Amino acid sequence: MNPPVATTFFFYLLAAIMLIGGVFVITRKNAVHSALALIATLLAQAGIYLMLYAPFVAGVQIILYAGGIMVLFLFVIMLISIERSLKERMLNRQWVVGGLAALALGALFISVYVKGKNLFPTPKVPVFETNNTQTVGNLLYGQYMFPFEIASLLLLVAIIGAVVMAKKRI
Amino acid sequence: MDALTHISILHYIVLAAALFILGVVGVLTRRNVVVILMSIELILNAVNLNLVAFSRYWQAMHGPPALHGQVFAIFVITDAAAEAAVGLGILIAFFRNKETVNMDEVNLMKW
C-alpha cells in the first residue's frame, strides 16, 4: 500500500510556511508584521493537524488561536505605541548569550535525533477514519472530566486576572 | 530517498523541534514584550504539534482510536489563551506606568 503522493507535497509546503512564518515572527521589527506572520504559521499548523487526522484540533486551532488570541494580540499592539519601538534597537543586551543558549539547545536536539531516530518503528496497522470529534468529546466529558473542570476554573481566574491587571481603578 | 518522500512521525518531530528553537531564540533575544509573548505561543504550538503527532502514531501502532494526545493539545490551547489574556493585561498595566514595552526596562522590583 503506497501512501498518496500529495501527502508529501502538502507536508513540505505547510512545513515551509510554518518555518518561514516563525522566522518572520522573531525577525520583524514591527510587531504587527510579527503578528501577521504568526497567523500564517498557525493556519499552516491547522493544515498539519488535518493531515494528522485531527480535524477537531484543527478547528479549535483556527477559531481559538487565529481568531481569538491573535485578535487579542493585534488589539494590544494597537493600544501601545509602535512608533517608538520602531526607532529603538530590536535585540536586548544579552542577545549573544541568548543566541548561544538556543544554539546549544539546538545541538542537544540534533544529538537526540541522531541517537534516537531508529526508536520509532514504522506502524503496521492502517489507520481508519474514526469519528474524531465524538471521541474527543467523550474523552473530555468522561475520562478527563476533572482536568476539564480545572481548565474552566483556570479560564475564570485568567478572566479576573486580566480585568484586575488592565483596569485603572478597581 | 524513502526518508524524504515517506512522511513519518520523525518529520513532524523535527518540524516541532525547529519551531521550538525559533520560539526560544525569540524569547531570549527580543526586547519587545509583545513579540516575546508571540514567541511563547510558538513554543506552545511546537509542543501541540508533538502531542497530536504522537497521538496519531499511537493510533497507527495500536489500532483502536485513542485520542489522548489531541485532548491534551486542547488543554494546552486553553492554557495558551489564559496566558495570553493575563500576559497582555500585565503588559497594558506596565505600559500605563512606564510608557514602554521593552523587556530590559522592566526593573521596578530590581535593586
- Name the phi and psi angles at B32, rounded to 5: -70, 125
B83 vs A120: which has the higher pLDDT: B83
Mutation test of the interface with chain A: which of B6, B11, B77, choosing the one with the most A Cβ atoms within 10 A? Answer: B77
CA proximity to A72, closest of B83, B94, B27: B83
**ipTM score assigned to the predicted complex:** 0.89
pTM beyond cutoff 0.95: no
| Average of per-residue pLDDT values in chain A | 87
Give me the pLDDT at residue A5, please. 58
pLDDT of residue A153: 95
Please tell me if residue A146 touches chain B, with a CB cutoff of 8 Å: no
Q: Which DSSP category does A3 fall into?
A: P
Of A15, A57, A124, the CB nearest to B52: A57
Inter-residue contact A31 to A77 (CB < 8 Å):
yes
Report pLDDT for A166.
81
CA atoms within 13 A on the CB side of B108: 8
Location of C-alpha cell 535525533: A113
Q: Which stretches of A54-94 are DSSP H helices? A: 55-60, 70-79, 82-87
Mean pLDDT rounded to a whole number for chain B: 87
State the Rg of chain A over Cα.
21
Could you read off the pLDDT of A98-151 as tens digits, one per residue? Answer: 999 999 999 999 999 988 888 887 776 666 667 888 888 999 999 999 999 999
Closest to B81 (Cα-Cα) out of A166, A18, A72:
A72
Which residue, among A158, A153, A167, has the nearest Cα to A69 in the 3D structure? A158
